[in-house]
């Protein structure tokens, strides 16, 4: 499988692209524009956005687990400041923060 090289490492701070493209994508709107930290590099997989249209999903994309502080995601969050949310995101949605 043709793949893209991993662009981020564990511990890197990343910002999720603030994009709202039409079509089939796998990035929740509530994390777009938000900053998190890479906690795991899961691996490389066919691009699910391309697979949704019946294409081959190539080049493969690196999938990361990104951790966000809940207080950074929700302005009215009343839980502990230590609460986090982990989301699996593909590399083409992430920029260095």
Rounded (5°) CA angle 59-86-15: 60
* Strand-pair category, 61-69 with 94-96: unpaired
pTM score, whole prediction: 0.90
pLDDT tens string for the chain (97 positions)? 666 678 899 999 999 999 887 766 778 999 999 999 999 999 999 988 888 889 999 989 999 999 999 999 999 999 999 999 999 999 999 999 9
Burial 24-42 (b: 16+ CB within 10 A, else e): ebebeeebeebebbbeeee
Closest CA to 18 of 37, 35, 32: 32
Compute φ and ψ for 91, nearest 5 degrees.
-55, -35
Break the chain into its structural domains and give their ranges: 13-96
CATH number of the domain at 13-96, please? 2.30.30.50
The H or E element spanning position 14 is: strand 13-16
């Amino acid at each position: 499988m043709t793949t893209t090289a991993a662009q981020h490492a564990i511990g890197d701070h990343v910002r999720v692209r603030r994009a709202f493209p039409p079509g089939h994508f796998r990035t929740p709107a509530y994390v777009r524009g938000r900053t998190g930290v890479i906690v795991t590099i899961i691996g490389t997989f066919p691009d699910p956005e391309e697979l949704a249209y019946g294409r081959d999903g190539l080049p493969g994309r690196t999938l990361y687990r990104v951790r966000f502080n809940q207080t950074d995601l929700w302005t009215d969050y009343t839980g502990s400041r230590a609460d986090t949310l982990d989301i699996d995101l593909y590399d083409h949605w992430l920029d260095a923060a």
